[in-house]
A and B are shown apart, each in its own frame.
Chain A
Amino acid sequence: MRNGLTTGRGLSMAAAGVAAMALTLTACGSGGIGNEGGGGEDTLTIGFVSTETGSSAPFGEANSFVVDEMEAYFKDHPVKVGDKELDVEIVVRDAQSDTTKAGAVAGDLINKDGADIIVASSTPDIVNPVSEQCEANSIPCITTVAPWQPFAIRSGDKPADLKYSYHFFWGLEDVATVYQGIWSKVENNGKAGGLFPKDPDGEAWGANFPALTEASGVKIDNPGNYPNGTKDFSAQISAYKGHDVLVGVPIPPDFTTFWQQAKQQGYNPKVATIGKALLFPSSVEALGPIAHNLSTEVWWTPTAPYKSSLTGQSAQELADAYEEKTGKQWTQPLGFAHALFEVATAAVTEAGSTDADAITKALSGLEVSTVVGDVAWGKDKNVPPYVAKTSLAGGQWRQVEGGKHPFELVVVENSLAPDVPLGGEPEALK
Chain B
Amino acid sequence: MDWINAVLQGLLLGGQYALLACGLSLIFGVMRIVNLAHGVLAVASAYLALWLIQQTGMPSFLTIVIVIPVLAAVGYAIQRGLFNAALRHGELSPLLVSFGLAVIGANLLQEIFTADSRKISIGGLSTSSVELGQLRLGVFSLITLVVAVGVIVGLQLYLSHTRIGRAMRATKDDPEAATLMGIDERHMYALATAIAIGTVALAGVFLGMSTQFSPTYGDLVLIFAFEAVIIGGLGSLWGTLLGGLVLGVAQTVGAQIDPAYGVLAGHLVFLVVLLFRPQGLLPKAVVA
**A residues engaging B (CB < 8 A)?**
2-3, 6-7, 9-14, 16-18, 20-21, 23-25, 27-30, 53-55, 57-58, 60-61, 198, 223-227, 229-236, 238, 252-253, 256-257, 260-261, 263-266, 280, 282-283, 286-288, 290
Contact = CB atoms under 8 A, between A and B. Distances in A.
Contacts of B32: 6, 9-10, 13
B95 A280 contact: no
Given A7-B283, A290-B127, A232 B117 contact: no
A9 B278 contact: no
13 contacts: A13-B91, A14-B34, A16-B92, A20-B96, A60-B115, A224-B259, A224-B260, A226-B262, A230-B251, A230-B262, A235-B255, A260-B210, A282-B116
A53 to B, nearest CB: 6
Given A227-B263, A230-B263, A24 B119 contact: no
A284 B2 CA distance: 30
Given A24-B36, A229-B263, A234 B279 contact: no
Given A264-B129, A283-B212, A223 B259 contact: yes
Contact of B226 (A21, A60, A265): A21
Interface in B209-250: 210-214, 216-217, 219-220, 222-224, 226, 230, 234-235, 248
Nearest to B224: A231
A227 B224 CA distance: 14
Contacts of A28: 103, 106-107, 216, 219
A226 B102 contact: no
Given A10-B32, A11-B278, A14-B34, A24 B260 contact: no
A17 B226 contact: yes
B45 interface: no
A10 B235 contact: yes
Contacts of B264: 227
Given A230-B263, A235-B259, A9 B91 contact: yes
Given A17-B36, A253-B217, A263-B127, A282 B118 contact: yes
A242 to B, nearest CB: 14
B95 A13 contact: yes
B266 to A, nearest CB: 10
A225 B261 CA distance: 9
Contacts of B99: 20, 23-24
A260 B127 contact: yes
A198 B260 contact: yes
Contacts of B129: 264-266
A114 to B, nearest CB: 29
B6 A18 contact: no
B23 interface: no
Contacts of B234: 7, 10, 14
A223 B212 CA distance: 24
Contacts of A263: 127
A282 B121 CA distance: 13
B179 interface: no
B204 interface: no
- Measured as residues with beta carbon below 8 angstroms from the partner, the interface class of chain B is 35 or more
Given A225-B259, A257-B210, A24 B136 contact: no
A232 B127 contact: no
Given A232-B262, A260-B211, A264-B138, 8 more contacts: A10-B28, A17-B95, A24-B36, A60-B115, A224-B259, A234-B252, A235-B2, A282-B117
B226 to A, nearest CB: 6
Contacts of A231: 13, 16, 211, 224, 251
Interface string B116-138: 11110101001111000000111
Interface string B82-123: 000000000110011001001100110010001111110101
Closest 10 CB pairs of A and B: A57-B115, A282-B116, A286-B119, A263-B127, A235-B255, A264-B129, A17-B34, A224-B259, A234-B9, A226-B259
A16 B117 contact: no
Nearest to A258: B211
Nearest to A255: B212
A235 B2 CA distance: 8
Nearest to A56: B115
B212 A30 contact: no
Contacts of A7: 234, 278-279, 283
Contact of B262 (A18, A21, A227, A283): A227
B10 interface: yes
Contacts of A55: 214, 216
Contact of A229 (B220, B235, B284): B220
A288 B259 contact: no
A14 B248 CA distance: 20
A286 B279 CA distance: 41
B136 A230 contact: no
Contacts of A30: 107
Contacts of A252: 117, 212, 214
Nearest to A22: B223
Contacts of A53: 107, 110, 115
Contact of B260 (A6, A23, A225): A225
Contacts of A27: 103
Nearest to B278: A11
B95 to A, nearest CB: 6
Contacts of B115: 53-54, 57-58, 60-61
Nearest to A12: B91
B160 interface: no
Among the interface residues A6, A24, A61, A261, which one has the most CB atoms of the partner chain B within 10 A?
A24
A253 B10 CA distance: 18
Contacts of B284: 3
Contacts of A233: 255
A240 to B, nearest CB: 11
A256 B119 contact: yes
A84 B24 CA distance: 64
Contacts of A283: 116-117, 212
Contacts of B255: 226, 230, 232-236
Contacts of B28: 10, 13
Among the interface residues B118, B212, B235, B258, which one has the most CB atoms of the partner chain A within 10 A?
B212
Nearest to A331: B116
Given A14-B230, A28-B106, A257-B211, A235 B256 contact: yes
B136 A265 contact: yes
